[in-house]
A and B are shown apart, each in its own frame.
Chain A
Amino acid sequence: MAQAVSSQRGPVTGTAMRSHKRRPFLLDLYSTAVGKKYVMAITGIAMMGFVLFHMIGNLKMYLGAADLNHYAKFLEELLYPIAPHGVTLWILRAGLITMLLLHLHAAYSLTVLNRRARPVKYQSARDYQIATFASRTMRWSGIIALAFITWHLLDLTFGVVNDHVGTKDAEGLKDVYGNVVFSLQRVPVAIFYVVANVLLGIHLFHGAWSIFQSLGWNNPRFNKWRRAFATGFAAIVVIGNVSFPIAVLAGVVGN
């Protein structure tokens, strides 16, 4: 029997593998869309861990200025004296920046791939059945979250848009509490924080579910918990984060 011959791929046999030179293992994995989704998921998990602990850490502001400022000092002194002052924190930051850059690059290249996969859009209105608002706005919620991160760093980390940054408290510690209060007492800033965090929550609502599919974690035993986990995680982060600007504006924090 004659072998079926594909015009593009050569003879088809039971061992149909294209014999091209393989790239180094991780680059090879990253070269396909499925591999990029693994990167999206793993970097997503890392950043989810960060936003959760960031929110929990910020809850210290409800305990008062001293608690929050001591917590900030603790983060700088993490693993001291094994590591010098601030080094552990910078290692963690470098890891997060790497995660963010990988997440962005994978998102960008997948978006390019997807645009190319349907260059001519549907000319009539689509009637989506299952896709959610969250899943269809991932790019937008992601971009706005990125803009928010940029503002947030300029505001509370570098103090470019926050004149209070650099002030010390009564114990001589950085007055993180004062910085937060100064920033969030500006009503437009507080509104931006609320809006951006709700969008972050929408991003997490789809992302935290999507992770399970992208990593191939699918099991009838826990499938019904995946949506609940994503909803719960997004809700906890959003409620925590949104409470801060509201608490500052309401005067609960800062008096």
Chain B
Amino acid sequence: MSNSIKNLTLKIWRQLGPTVKGTFETYNVEEISDEASFLEMLDYLNERLISEGKTAIVFDHDCREGICGTCSLMINGQAHGPQRGGATCQLHMRTFSDGDNIVIEPFRAEAFPIIRDLMVDRSKFDRIIESGGFITAPTGGAPDANLIAIPKPVSDSAMDSAQCIGCGACVAACPNGAANLFTGAKVAHLNRLPQGQPERFKRVEAMVETMDEYFGSCTNHGECEGACPKEISVDVIALLNKDYRKAKFASRKDLAR
């Protein structure tokens, strides 16, 4: 096929460490196949840099099938690049045209400090998850399957939120650097299910307050939903807000605290 091979100009952010000043550097890559993924294109460039005795570009990646949430990258001003519902590893070079200029930048937020080049530290998400704690579950013999009846729409919507892979694209895309979509997804995942009810309000309170320590605030741009590789809806943010209000207003006796 004639148009399946591309030559591209890449402008990539290089930064030696968290406190070092970074800068964009320009690289030309030739003969990139349409079938290559974006990360494979970067691998190809890294192989060349290594063979030329230069340092490879550091970027996050792991499963390369869109389920681990490790890859990141702002590609041409969009988190995970110009596609809906996919992570950077699922972005293929057929999305781009021959001769394109592609700008690659790390996710930027105070909570996501740059480790090196395009790699950022997203462990602040773990702080939010930790503060959410565990669910109370009976121990002992394995319960019968379907012992707890869950209506299909409830389990569907909980599953929609549970799809979150914690990649941080919502924070990266948010003009305010807010983590409400991530926190909302995690809260909605458990708060919609019967198993999540005993800690429902404690959980939302703790997670919102931890989120506040590191992230910005939601101003309802909706940019997070557009960037989310799992297309999680901003509906979860409304649920987060509603449960937070309920947690504050409900009687503490009802909340078993």
The yes or no answer to A13 lying at the interface (CB within 8 A) is: yes
Residue of B nearest to A4 (CB): B130
For window 208-257 of B, CB contacts with A under 8 Å fall at: 208-212, 214-223, 225-227, 234-235, 237-245, 248, 257
For window 109-134 of A, CB contacts with B under 8 Å fall at: 110, 113-114, 116-132
For window 163-211 of B, CB contacts with A under 8 Å fall at: 173, 175-178, 180, 199, 202, 205-206, 208-211
Q: In the complex, are the beta carbons of B222 and A130 less than 8 A apart?
A: yes
Neighbour of A110 across the interface among B134, B217, B245, CB < 8 A: B217
Q: How many residues from B make CB contacts under 8 Å with A? A: 63
Neighbour of A15 across the interface among B202, B210, B248, CB < 8 A: B202
Q: In the complex, are the beta carbons of A118 and B108 less than 8 A apart?
A: yes
CB-CB under 8 A from B11, the residues of chain A are: 124
- A42-60 Cβ-contact flags toward B at 8 Å (1 or 0): 0000000000000000000
The yes or no answer to B99 lying at the interface (CB within 8 A) is: no
Which one of B47-55, B58-66, B74-82, B87-95 is at the interface?
B74-82
The yes or no answer to A75 lying at the interface (CB within 8 A) is: no
Residue of A nearest to B233 (CB): A218
Contact A121-B216, Cβ < 8 Å, known A38-B241, A215-B241, A216-B241: no
Distance A174 CA – B184 CA, assembled complex (angstroms): 54
CB-CB under 8 A from A116, the residues of chain B are: 110, 216
Neighbour of A113 across the interface among B78, B108, B216, CB < 8 A: B216
Distance A124 CA – B12 CA, assembled complex (angstroms): 10
The yes or no answer to B158 lying at the interface (CB within 8 A) is: no
Contacts between chains A and B (CB distance < 8 A), count? 177
Q: In the complex, are the beta carbons of A9 and B209 less than 8 A apart?
A: no
CB-CB under 8 A from B178, the residues of chain A are: 33, 114, 117
Residue of A nearest to B227 (CB): A129
Distance A216 CA – B187 CA, assembled complex (angstroms): 14
Neighbour of B111 across the interface among A13, A28, A117, CB < 8 A: A117
CB-CB under 8 A from A16, the residues of chain B are: 130-133, 206
Contact A126-B77, Cβ < 8 Å, known A118-B176, A213-B234: yes
Distance A13 CA – B216 CA, assembled complex (angstroms): 26
Distance A223 CA – B111 CA, assembled complex (angstroms): 32
Q: In the complex, are the beta carbons of A216 and B133 less than 8 A apart?
A: no
CB-CB under 8 A from B226, the residues of chain A are: 129-130
The yes or no answer to B13 lying at the interface (CB within 8 A) is: yes
CB-CB under 8 A from A38, the residues of chain B are: 241, 245
Distance A199 CA – B202 CA, assembled complex (angstroms): 41
Most buried by B among A17, A35, A119: A17
Q: In the complex, are the beta carbons of B217 and A18 less than 8 A apart?
A: no
Interface of chain A, helix or strand or loop or mixed?
loop
Distance A113 CA – B11 CA, assembled complex (angstroms): 31
Q: In the complex, are the beta carbons of A210 and B177 less than 8 A apart?
A: no
Shortest beta-carbon distance from B186 to chain A in Å: 13
CB-CB under 8 A from A136, the residues of chain B are: 175, 221
Q: In the complex, are the beta carbons of B217 and A128 less than 8 A apart?
A: no
CB-CB under 8 A from A213, the residues of chain B are: 218, 220, 234, 237-238, 241
CB-CB under 8 A from A214, the residues of chain B are: 218, 220, 241
Q: In the complex, are the beta carbons of A218 and B110 less than 8 A apart?
A: no
CB-CB under 8 A from B217, the residues of chain A are: 33-34, 36-37, 110, 113-114, 117
Q: In the complex, are the beta carbons of A117 and B130 less than 8 A apart?
A: no
Distance A223 CA – B238 CA, assembled complex (angstroms): 11
Distance A204 CA – B223 CA, assembled complex (angstroms): 19
CB-CB under 8 A from B227, the residues of chain A are: 129
Q: In the complex, are the beta carbons of B135 and A14 less than 8 A apart?
A: yes
The yes or no answer to A150 lying at the interface (CB within 8 A) is: no
The yes or no answer to A255 lying at the interface (CB within 8 A) is: no
Distance A76 CA – B177 CA, assembled complex (angstroms): 47
Contact A135-B130, Cβ < 8 Å, known A118-B109, A218-B239: no
- 17 CB contacts below 8 A, A to B, read A6-B127, A16-B206, A18-B131, A18-B209, A33-B178, A34-B180, A116-B216, A117-B178, A117-B215, A118-B109, A124-B103, A127-B76, A135-B220, A209-B220, A214-B218, A215-B242, A216-B241
* Chain B residues packing against A (C-beta within 8 Å): 11, 13, 24, 74, 76-78, 82, 103, 105, 108-111, 127, 130-136, 173, 175-178, 180, 199, 202, 205-206, 208-212, 214-223, 225-227, 234-235, 237-245, 248, 257
* Chain A residues packing against B (C-beta within 8 Å): 4, 6, 8-9, 12-18, 25, 28-29, 32-38, 110, 113-114, 116-132, 135-136, 138, 206, 209-210, 212-218, 223
A17-B257, A117-B216 given; 5 more Cβ-contact pairs under 8 Å:
A34-B208, A113-B217, A114-B175, A126-B77, A131-B223
